[in-house]
Amino acid sequence: MGKKVKWSWTSAFVGAASATAVATLLSARPKDPTFHLVSIKLTAFKLNLPHVDAELILTVHVTNPNIAPIHYGSTAMSIFYEGTLLGAAQVKAGSQRARSCQVLKLPTRLDGVELAHHAGKFFADVAKREMVLDAKVDIGGQAKVLWWGHRFKVHVDSHITVDPVFLDVIDQENRSQLEIFLAS
């Protein structure tokens, strides 16, 4: 009971360095990015006889919560109505700084022919001022940590309720899943 423990600065330094290393590793663990549809703006109707296509701009807020900046390639986000492909939004190649937010403006075209196949449901949605759309996209790119570059893919599923008259976003649920490829 009377044994005296000798305290040393070396032990304290090793303990502090170990705790710092563990905290750094935990904060560096890759996290899923977040996506949030801010607004929808109708820009044009394109006459595609005998139908009319709608052109829109989707404004999307994207957050990269990771410690690494990213570079991503161009892709298309598929937009579905009642399970049918209604159109696509173009995502241009770009980059985003580490732990940052940015706003993307995505040019979108919706197919009037496909919407006409669901005319009864569409007019019912217009009457109740709620239209449910689903969107899916896979975004691939590269994240570079120090001198190591790692390829990644983010899969995003969105379930969005909009007002089809004023194009207001009423509600949305966005899920993203990050997959990192460690081998080249």
Structural domains of the chain, count:
1
pLDDT above 90 (res 109): yes
Answer yes or no: is 107 within a domain.
yes
pLDDT at res. 25: 59
- Is the entire prediction scored with pTM above 0.75? yes
CB distance 126 to 164 below 8 Å = yes
Query: Helix H segments across the chain?
Result: 9-28, 112-116, 119-128
pLDDT at res. 29: 72
pLDDT at res. 74: 97
Q: In angstroms, how far is CA 109 from the centroid of its own chain?
A: 19
Answer yes or no: is 142 within a domain.
yes
The range of the structural domain enclosing residue 90 comes to 31-180
Answer yes or no: is 101 within a domain.
yes
pLDDT above 60 (res 128): yes
CATH classification at residue 115: 2.60.40
Write the burial class of residue 150 (CB in 10 Å: 0-12 exposed, 13-18 middle, 19+ buried): middle
Answer yes or no: is 124 within a domain.
yes
